[in-house]
Amino acid sequence: GSESPIQFGQINPNIASNFINTLHQDLVLSFPPGFPPSCSPSVPLPFTMSHGTTTLAFIFQGGVIAAADTRSSCNGLVACPASQKILPVHSHLVGTTSGTSADCALWKRILARELRLYQLRHGRRLSTAGAAKLLAHMLHPFKGTELCVAATLCGWDGGERPSLYYVCSDGTRLQGELFSVGSGSPYAYSVLDGGVRWGLTVEEATSLARQAVYRATHRDAYSGNCVDVYHITSKGWARRDREDAEFKSQHP
């Protein structure tokens, strides 16, 4: 299109800092005027973006497990120790988020809206593959801007089988059985590659997911605090109680 995508959703920097204050209820943040310095010549960033996270998802005989840490960091500051990085999109689809928290939250909501509209118009739910394609195509116009979303969509398609897709704002869209995303992902990959099998029980899979996130939070400064685990089956998603990463790994 002829319209620059940078105009879409552009917000006044003064409004941005108020929005951040209400978003993180635990901490009240106030930024001195003129901070941080803008790195983009075209649109000033309202605040420093940072992408610290560990998220993972894998498929096994019992469905899909999605796990993530809960630390939202802003350079050296832990902006929120209790954030939600796994967001339900609908009853049978869950998305892990990595990248800019605000971008991820917004685009997950837009995706949820578009999927609901599809369901109303066509009388059936869009598959995970379709949802991934929709998200990838919605993010494509923003390629080259500061928008940063790296998500895995974990879902159960049409009562048949589990499905896992990785979608990134640079346009990547991959189908797979195991993904980990974020600054802590290499550490998580190495733990998961040694343990993930199709035949895991639900308890084993949950424990392995927690272990992987814990190991990543141990090594990666930008991941930490607690671990969220979601389990998606033919009946929909179920959320495990949030537990402290360190506690659970030492008391499996």
Partner 1 sequence: MEYLIGIQGPDFVLVAADNVAASSIIQMKQDQDKMFKLSDKILLLCVGEAGDTVQFAEYIQKNIQLYKMRNGYELSPTAAANFTRKNLADYLRSRTPYHVNLLLAGFDETDGPGLYFMDYLSALAKAPFAAHGYGAYLTLSILDRYYRPDLTRDEAVELLKKCIEELNKRLIINLPSFSVRLIDKDGIHDLEKLVPVGAK
In angstroms, what is the minimal distance from the CB of 29 to partner 1?
A: 30
Distance CA 108, CA 84 (A): 12
Distance CA 106, CA 110 (A): 6
Q: Name residue 178's amino acid.
A: L
Contact in structure between 108 and 87 (CB atoms under 8 Å): yes
In angstroms, what is the minimal distance from the CB of 42 to partner 1?
A: 11
Token pair 């990547």: residue: 172
Q: Taking CB under 8 A as the rule, does residue 58 contact partner 1?
A: no
Distance CA 4, CA 11 (A): 15
For partner 1, which is the closer residue by CB, 32 or 144?
A: 144
Contact in structure between 32 and 14 (CB atoms under 8 Å): no
Which entry of 22, 48, 53, 100 is annotated as an active-site residue?
Answer: 53
Footprint of partner 1 on 124-143 (CB under 8 A) = 136, 140, 143
Q: Taking CB under 8 A as the rule, does residue 176 contact partner 1?
A: yes
For partner 1, which is the closer residue by CB, 101 or 152?
A: 152
Among 15, 39, 77, 174, binds partner 1 (CB under 8 A): 174
Q: Is 54 a catalytic residue?
A: no
| Pairing between β-strand 77-80 and β-strand 72-74 as defined by DSSP bridges | antiparallel
Instruction: By CB under 8 A, name the binding residues for partner 1.
Output: 136, 140, 143-144, 166, 168, 170-174, 176, 179, 185-186, 189
Provide the annotated active-site residues. 53
